């Protein structure tokens, strides 16, 4: 496999390492965890020289090529830059977190989430496919959620995590829509194809939609105004997470996206206007808000928002050099901001507070950390000889060269300088308030220097700030050039990375920013007073309010739709059925088809009238339940006659025997249920239901008529032609059941068995009120088993069994078969129960119906398995003809054994239901064993 | 004849649907039974109506369609199992809940529950 795939794969495997190594010491866990990401970093670095030469690597594993789905990774300059940030800072954070987390925190879980994030983030930057980018994009949102809520016992952490997930997740959905449209326009989801078709995309009609959707995704992720509010609330996360995700990497994913799609999407007025104005607003707003934070991390979070705005502004300026400046600032911001967060974490860890009103004069207690933090802070402010100065100079230069606002373009450099002033002011506050400005006030702990190795990551990052600031070309020149080339997908314009460009306008702007910032900080009390006049508004409360509003609305809606009434649900389902089934009927021009109809005869009319009357009578008298049952049985008998008339003798036989069993069942049930239905439907409800019923009846009748009067194109000719030759039987219906569609039948009898067992289980332990009299107070007859009935039914039993055997045996060639024979046998046995009672039957009938169901299904299944022994597919039937003296020629078929299984299952299921229901009326109630 | 048959299917459907929408479990079971008659007749008729044409080889010139018949035959048996399950469920519900309403509680108690729901949670 291409070694490229291993770069994201190693951290994925590494996700498991901390879970297993957490049982060892914390140091061991940290080292083991760092192993696989370090290997991935090594792999990346080994490719760096070729990438600096302008090469790009691609690797793809196809999945569904026809839909453009593949697992594809790429490694070019821009990817290299981000991958170095992700893996490099990630390794430093692993070391830092080893000292930051307390003994109560589960370090294995923390590392696991962290490495999972690393994997997701590497996936975002390395993906070479649009859909794949999005999948990893959402994974970063999810891992960010897990990390912010790591201290789940804190309400702040839970709320902050939820807010971050809601905002970035919603943006992710917009991004998905945007990427899908983009892929449709380009005709490919491959990133390289998309990058090469910038002109096509910009000319297409969907371009504005794509830009807005993709930018929504980018802005939410990178905390751009007006979605910036989630980032300060995400500061409830442990500080290593803030340093890693919420300053150096994840919040840069939106920036990455804009840089990545720069060749495709940028270059139009729309892009420049949206991106630059959003960036500018975020830049100023973040800087302003940062100044007023008392929380150390809050200050840093708002300053991160501001710097992300700065980078966005650069990406929206439309000059190629601005893109270079943006990429340069990505590197610089990641280094100084991550080190500042780590320093803030150290201060919090060693002094117990993050409030700048308490933290004062820490210089005396932790001079070493203070020096590091002051250098990083100066880089943030843009002090010369530090990396922040260089990119800020480039930024100022570009603001002077852009012209996106026409004659108002002069405003941009002014605003940029103002942003610079704010940046200097809050950086000064960070330095002065924390390390000087008197003595600490009421700190929970006496501050002191942190453990030696907790400082190492900060030292490395601050060292980078210094060397990049002093020797930029030597340290990051190649990387910046390669990244810019990849982002532009074109040649990189000339730029100079020198520290000193001579006395020019940008230097003046820097100077103004520096002086102005110090002045602003010196006069901060006036500004604080001014700010205090505004009513305090907490974005967290606003957000929570909106969330609660939405869930209240949802609850109100659910109260209407889902009121836990089955009657209401069926009303909805049926109404929907009317709409869905009526719409296609509207397109049908004529109801009647071309097929000639059978002439009507008097007998049929009589039967139809009987059916209509008894059907309506069932409805009319449905509250007198016994009467309804009698009329219902009349309907069933007419249906039986209909089957017999229209050439379906098998159906007629089945319907007749099922009818008997059903009515007996319902009568038994009626014994335990109320004899009458109370009148409770309102007239309105009845009219409504009648309307629905009539509509549906009309629709079904129409469909039926339209169907019957149209010519039939059926597959049954095959069955008719092969029934005798292939299945060995002349009753095609039965051959279909046991042979052609035998597998279906096996399924059906299994369902039948399961239903019966379910009923058996429902009956067991049922506590029922047993009435001792009927509705009118008349006691039940004491002569429950009349002698006449007993004698007749007993003498009928052998006859009935003989009939069922006959029906069973002839089933293959004449109407009959296992289903019908089973039902006839059941009726015969039930008749004995009715005539003699359960107690009498118990001593004579030693059949276990559950075993019967089981053996029936087993026999049928084994018949199917049997064909395997003859190298035939499951359920292939076999038949042959034999000759016996005195009987003559007869046929044996494996299908008959299958039918025997059907026969047994039907008896077992029917009897299990009815006999157990009948037993409820006696002392012989079935009881389940206690173990379930 | 086809028109008459379709009319009967429609009537049975309408009767079945109306009873299915009633509130008491026994009416619903009766309604389901009527509905399953209608469905079986409907499915059967999809093979078109034919007189004196049973699908038994050698018995007639022109056979009716055996496939819908085979389907309906199993549907009748499964329909019985379903009816049985529904009715036993109804009995069990009555035994455990103390009433035979399909919602598991009498309509009057639905009203009180609804008004109580506005303020609190479910």
Mutate to test the interface with B, among A700, A710, A814 (most CBs of B within 10 A): A700
Most confident among A301-310, A547-556, B84-93 (mean pLDDT): A301-310
Check whether residue A586 and residue A531 sit in a common domain: no
User: Cβ B77–A752 below 8 Å, yes or no?
Assistant: yes
SS3 A71: strand
Check whether residue A580 and residue A510 sit in a common domain: no
End-to-end CA distance of chain A: 53
- For residue A863, being part of any structural domain is answered with yes
- For residue A661, being part of any structural domain is answered with yes
Number of residues that make up chain B: 122
Question: What is the number of domains present in chain A?
Answer: 2
Residue A267: Cβ within 10 Å count = 15
Check whether residue A792 and residue A704 sit in a common domain: yes
Mean pLDDT of A541-552: 88
SS3 A541: helix
Instruction: Tell me, yes or no, if A755 comes closer than 8 A to chain B by beta carbon.
Output: yes
User: What pairs with residue A70 in β-bridges?
Assistant: A62
User: Which chain A residues are within 8 Å of B79, Cβ to Cβ?
Assistant: 658
Share of chain A above pLDDT 70, in %: 98
Question: Read out DSSP for chain B?
Answer: -HHHHHHHHHHHHHHHHHHHTSSBHHHHHHHHHHHHHHHHHHHHHTT---SS--SBTTS-SS---HHHHHHHHHHHHHHHHHHHHHHHHHHHHHHHHSS-BTTSS-HHHHHHHHHHHTTS--
Model confidence pLDDT, tens digit, residues A118-143? 999 999 999 999 999 999 999 999 99
Model confidence pLDDT, tens digit, residues A176-217? 999 999 999 998 899 999 999 999 999 999 999 999 999 999
Q: CA angle, B21 as apex, B20 and B25 as ends, to 5°?
A: 60
Q: Is A816 left (phi over 0), alpha (psi -120 to 50) or beta?
A: left
User: Cβ B34–A615 below 8 Å, yes or no?
Assistant: yes
Instruction: Tell me, yes or no, if A609 comes closer than 8 A to chain B by beta carbon.
Output: no
Mutate to test the interface with A, among B60, B63, B80 (most CBs of A within 10 A): B80
- For residue A932, being part of any structural domain is answered with no
Q: Which residues of chain A from 870 to 909 reach within 8 Å of chain B, CB to CB?
A: 906, 909
Model confidence pLDDT, tens digit, residues A512-525? 999 999 999 988 88
Instruction: Tell me, yes or no, if B42 comes closer than 8 A to chain A by beta carbon.
Output: yes
ipTM score for this prediction: 0.90
Check whether residue A798 and residue A879 sit in a common domain: yes
pLDDT at A547: 85
pLDDT at A922: 67
- For residue A353, being part of any structural domain is answered with yes
Check whether residue A418 and residue A480 sit in a common domain: yes
By Cβ distance, the residue of A595, A680, A712 closest to B65 is: A712
Residue A11's closest CA among A91, A119, A126? A119
By Cβ distance, the residue of B2, B18, B69 closest to A693 is: B18
Minimal C-alpha gap between B96 and chain A (Å) = 7
Residue A57's closest CA among A79, A37, A88? A79
User: Which chain B residues are within 8 Å of A623, Cβ to Cβ?
Assistant: 27
Residue A508: Cβ within 10 Å count = 12
Helices (H), A15-62: 17-21, 26-52
For the purposes of burial, counting CB atoms within 10 Å of the CB of A228, is it exposed (0-12), middle (13-18) or buried (19 or more)? buried
Check whether residue A574 and residue A548 sit in a common domain: no
Check whether residue A308 and residue A274 sit in a common domain: yes
- The DSSP 8-state label assigned to residue A725 in this structure reads I
Q: Which domains does chain B have, with CATH numbers?
A: 2-49+64-116 (1.10.287.3510)
pLDDT at A758 over 60: yes
Contact A151, A157 (CB under 8 A): yes
Q: Which of A556, A573, A605 is a domain's end point? A: A556
User: Which chain A residues are within 8 Å of B64, Cβ to Cβ?
Assistant: 646-648
Contact A747, B86 (CB under 8 A): no
User: What pairs with residue A779 in β-bridges?
Assistant: A773
Check whether residue A425 and residue A488 sit in a common domain: yes
Which helix (H) or strand (E) segment holds residue A257: the answer is helix A252-260
User: Cβ A744–B74 below 8 Å, yes or no?
Assistant: yes
User: Which chain A residues are within 8 Å of B90, Cβ to Cβ?
Assistant: 669, 673
Model confidence pLDDT, tens digit, residues A65-123? 777 778 999 999 999 999 999 999 999 999 999 999 988 888 999 999 999 999 999 99
Instruction: Tell me, yes or no, if A704 comes closer than 8 A to chain B by beta carbon.
Output: yes
User: Which chain A residues are within 8 Å of B98, Cβ to Cβ?
Assistant: none
State the residue range of the domain holding A348. 269-556
Which helix (H) or strand (E) segment holds residue A579: the answer is helix A566-586
Minimal C-alpha gap between A603 and chain B (Å) = 11
Interface A-B: count of C-beta contacts within 8 A: 317
Residue B83's closest CA among A614, A629, A608? A629
Check whether residue A328 and residue A473 sit in a common domain: yes
Contact A506, A392 (CB under 8 A): no
Check whether residue A583 and residue A515 sit in a common domain: no
Instruction: Tell me, yes or no, if A380 comes closer than 8 A to chain B by beta carbon.
Output: no
- For residue A740, being part of any structural domain is answered with yes
pLDDT at B112: 45
- The DSSP 8-state label assigned to residue A727 in this structure reads I
Query: Of A22-36, A764-778, B65-79, which gets the smallest average pLDDT?
Result: A764-778
- For residue A617, being part of any structural domain is answered with no
d(CA A233, CA A164): 8
By Cβ distance, the residue of B18, B41, B55 closest to A690 is: B18
- For residue A200, being part of any structural domain is answered with no
Number of residues that make up chain A: 932
User: Cβ B67–A716 below 8 Å, yes or no?
Assistant: yes
pLDDT band of residue A925 (cuts 50, 70, 90) is low
- For residue A168, being part of any structural domain is answered with no
Instruction: Tell me, yes or no, if B44 comes closer than 8 A to chain A by beta carbon.
Output: yes
Check whether residue A329 and residue A442 sit in a common domain: yes
Check whether residue A587 and residue A480 sit in a common domain: no
């Amino acid at each position: 496999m291409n070694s490229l795939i291993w770069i994201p794969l190693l951290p994925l495997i590494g996700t498991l390492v901390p879970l297993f190594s957490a049982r060892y010491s914390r140091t061991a866990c940290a080292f083991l965890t760092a192993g696989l990401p370090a290997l991935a970093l090594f792999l990346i670095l080994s490719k760096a020289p070729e990438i600096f030469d302008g090469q790009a690597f691609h690797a793809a594993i196809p999945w569904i090529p026809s839909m453009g789905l593949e697992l594809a990774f790429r490694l070019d300059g821009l990817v290299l830059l981000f991958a170095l940030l992700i893996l490099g800072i990630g390794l430093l954070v692993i070391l830092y977190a080893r000292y930051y987390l307390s003994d109560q925190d589960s370090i294995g879980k923390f590392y696991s989430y962290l490495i999972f994030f690393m994997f997701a983030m590497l996936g975002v930057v390395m993906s070479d496919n649009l859909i794949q980018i999005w999948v990893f994009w959402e994974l970063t949102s999810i891992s960010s959620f897990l990390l912010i809520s790591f201290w789940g016992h804190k309400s702040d952490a839970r709320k902050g995590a939820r807010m971050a997930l809601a905002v970035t997740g919603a943006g992710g959905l917009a991004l998905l829509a945007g990427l899908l449209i983009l892929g449709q326009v380009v005709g490919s989801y491959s990133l390289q194809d998309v990058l090469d078709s910038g002109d096509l995309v910009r000319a297409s009609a969907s371009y504005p939609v794509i830009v807005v959707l993709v930018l929504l995704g980018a802005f939410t992720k990178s905390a751009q105004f007006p979605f910036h509010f989630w980032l300060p609330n995400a500061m409830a996360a442990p500080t290593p997470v803030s340093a890693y995700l919420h300053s150096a990497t994840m919040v840069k994913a939106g920036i990455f996206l804009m840089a990545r799609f720069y060749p495709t999407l940028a270059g139009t007025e729309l892009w420049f206007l949206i991106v630059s104005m959003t960036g500018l607003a975020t830049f100023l707003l973040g800087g302003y808000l940062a100044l007023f934070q008392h929380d150390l991390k809050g200050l840093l979070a708002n300053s991160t928002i501001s710097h992300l705005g700065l980078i966005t502004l650069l990406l929206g300026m439309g000059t190629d050099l601005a893109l270079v400046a943006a990429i340069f600032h990505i590197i610089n911001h990641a280094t100084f901001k991550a080190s500042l967060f780590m320093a803030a974490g150290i201060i919090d860890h060693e002094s117990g507070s993050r409030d700048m009103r308490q933290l004062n004069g820490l210089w005396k207690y932790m001079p070493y950390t203070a020096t590091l933090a002051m250098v990083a802070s100066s880089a943030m402010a843009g002090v010369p000889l530090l990396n922040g100065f260089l990119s800020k100079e480039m930024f100022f230069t570009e603001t002077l060269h852009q012209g996106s606002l026409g004659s108002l373009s002069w405003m941009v450099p002014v605003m940029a300088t103002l942003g610079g002033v704010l940046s200097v002011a809050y950086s000064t506050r960070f330095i002065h308030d924390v390390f000087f400005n008197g003595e600490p006030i009421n700190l929970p702990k006496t501050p002191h220097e942190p453990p030696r190795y907790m400082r190492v990551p900060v030292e490395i990052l601050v060292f980078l700030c210094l060397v990049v600031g002093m020797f930029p070309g030597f340290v990051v020149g190649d990387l910046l050039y390669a990244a810019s080339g990849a982002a532009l997908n074109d040649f990189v314009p000339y730029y100079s990375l020198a520290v000193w460009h001579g006395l020019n306008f940008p230097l003046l702007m820097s100077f103004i920013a520096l002086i102005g910032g110090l002045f602003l900080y010196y006069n901060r009390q006036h500004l604080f007073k001014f700010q205090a006049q505004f009513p305090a508004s907490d974005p967290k409360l606003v957000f929570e309010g909106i969330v609660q509003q939405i869930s209240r609305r949802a609850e109100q809606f659910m109260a209407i739709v889902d009121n836990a009434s089955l009657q209401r649900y069926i009303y909805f389902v049926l109404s929907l059925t009317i709409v869905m089934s009526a719409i296609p009927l509207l397109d049908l021009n004529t109801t009647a088809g071309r097929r000639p109809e059978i002439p009507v005869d008097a007998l049929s009319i009589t039967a139809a009238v009987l059916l209509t009357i008894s059907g309506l009578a069932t409805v009319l008298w449905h509250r007198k339940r016994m009467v309804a049952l009698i009329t219902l049985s009349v309907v069933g008998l007419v249906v039986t006659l209909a089957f017999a008339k229209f050439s379906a003798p098998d159906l007629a036989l089945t319907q007749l025997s099922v009818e008997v069993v059903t009515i007996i069942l319902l009568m038994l049930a009626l014994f335990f249920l109320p004899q009458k239905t109370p009148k409770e439907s309102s007239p309105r409800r009845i009219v409504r239901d009648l309307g629905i019923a009539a509509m549906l009846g009309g629709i079904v009748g129409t469909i039926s008529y339209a169907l019957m009067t149209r010519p039939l194109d059926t597959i049954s000719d095959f069955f008719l032609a092969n029934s005798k030759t292939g299945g060995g039987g002349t009753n095609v219906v039965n051959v279909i059941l046991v042979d052609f569609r035998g597998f279906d039948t096996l399924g059906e009898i299994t369902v039948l068995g399961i239903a019966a067992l379910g009923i058996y289980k429902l009956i067991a332990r049922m506590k029922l009120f047993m009435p001792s009299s009927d509705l009118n107070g008349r006691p039940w007859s004491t002569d429950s088993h009349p002698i006449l009935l007993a004698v007749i039914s007993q003498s009928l039993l052998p006859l009935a069994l003989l009939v069922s055997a006959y029906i069973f045996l002839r089933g293959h060639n004449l109407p009959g078969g296992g289903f019908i024979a089973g039902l006839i046998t059941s009726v015969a046995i039930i008749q004995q129960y009715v005539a003699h009672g359960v107690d009498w039957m118990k001593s004579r009938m030693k059949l276990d119906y559950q075993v019967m169901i089981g053996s029936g299904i087993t026999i049928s299944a084994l018949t199917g398995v049997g064909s395997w022994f003859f190298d035939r597919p499951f359920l292939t039937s076999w038949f042959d003809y034999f000759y016996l003296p005195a009987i003559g020629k007869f046929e044996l078929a494996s299908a008959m054994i299958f039918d025997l299984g059907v026969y047994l299952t039907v008896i077992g299921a029917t009897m299990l239901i009815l006999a157990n229901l009948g037993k409820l009326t006696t002392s012989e109630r079935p009881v389940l064993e206690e173990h379930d | 004849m086809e028109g008459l048959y379709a009319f009967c299917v429609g009537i049975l459907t309408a009767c079945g649907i109306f009873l299915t929408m009633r509130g008491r479990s026994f009416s619903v079971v009766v309604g389901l039974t009527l509905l399953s008659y209608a469905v079986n007749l409907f499915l059967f008729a999809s093979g078109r109506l034919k007189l004196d044409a049973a699908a038994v080889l050698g018995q007639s010139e022109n056979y009716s369609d055996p496939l819908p018949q085979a389907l309906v035959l199993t549907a009748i048996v499964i329909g019985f199992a379903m009816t049985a399950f529904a009715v036993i469920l109804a009995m069990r519900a009555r035994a455990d809940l103390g009433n035979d309403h399909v919602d598991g509680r009498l309509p009057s108690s639905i009203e009180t529950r609804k008004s109580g729901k506005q303020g609190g949670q479910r």
